[in-house]
Amino acid sequence: MTKFQESLYPEDWKEAARRDWRRITTMIKDDDAEGAAFFLQQSLEKYLKAFLLERGWKLRKIHELDTLLDYAIEFDSTLEKFIDLCERVTGYYFTERYPMLIPSELITEDIKKDRGKAAKLIKALFSEEPIKG
């Protein structure tokens, strides 16, 4: 696999997203809500970038899922129903990266719910993706 940060190959991004998706389960088992939330954000970011790259989008350093989703909606307007999820999960990135600035009130049950919604988004992006919520 090519180093995914530099790759323009959607399959590289999907493989990295799958790894992050598996990490969510480990973090939930460890009752690490912040860690699970972070990997949920990372997984969705990579899936969205894979979707966009498949459609000729120019790779950018963006972590905001709602912005990535806005680009994706240009290709598939049915994705609009995931805006609230993407706005919420974007915050998970910043909570984990800047814990002194943004106190976390996350609990694993919330992450489990968002993981279920995220699985639906991933299936909407890639219907063949073997993902479980």
pLDDT of residue 93: 74
Q: What is the mean pLDDT of residues 97-105?
A: 54
Residue 99, pLDDT > 80, answer no
Angle at 48 between CA 75 and CA 32, to 5 degrees: 150
CATH class label, 10-125 = mainly alpha
| Amino acid present at 98 | Y
Q: What is the pLDDT of residue 98?
A: 52
Q: Residue 24: name the closest of 105, 108, 125 by CA.
A: 108
How confident is the model over 48-88, as pLDDT tens digits? Answer: 999 999 999 999 889 999 999 999 999 999 999 999 999 99
Q: What is the mean pLDDT of residues 112-124?
A: 97
Helix axis angle, 108-125 to 33-54, nearest 10°: 10
- Write out the two tokens for 96: 């984990």
Distance between CA atoms of residues 96 and 20, nearest Å: 15
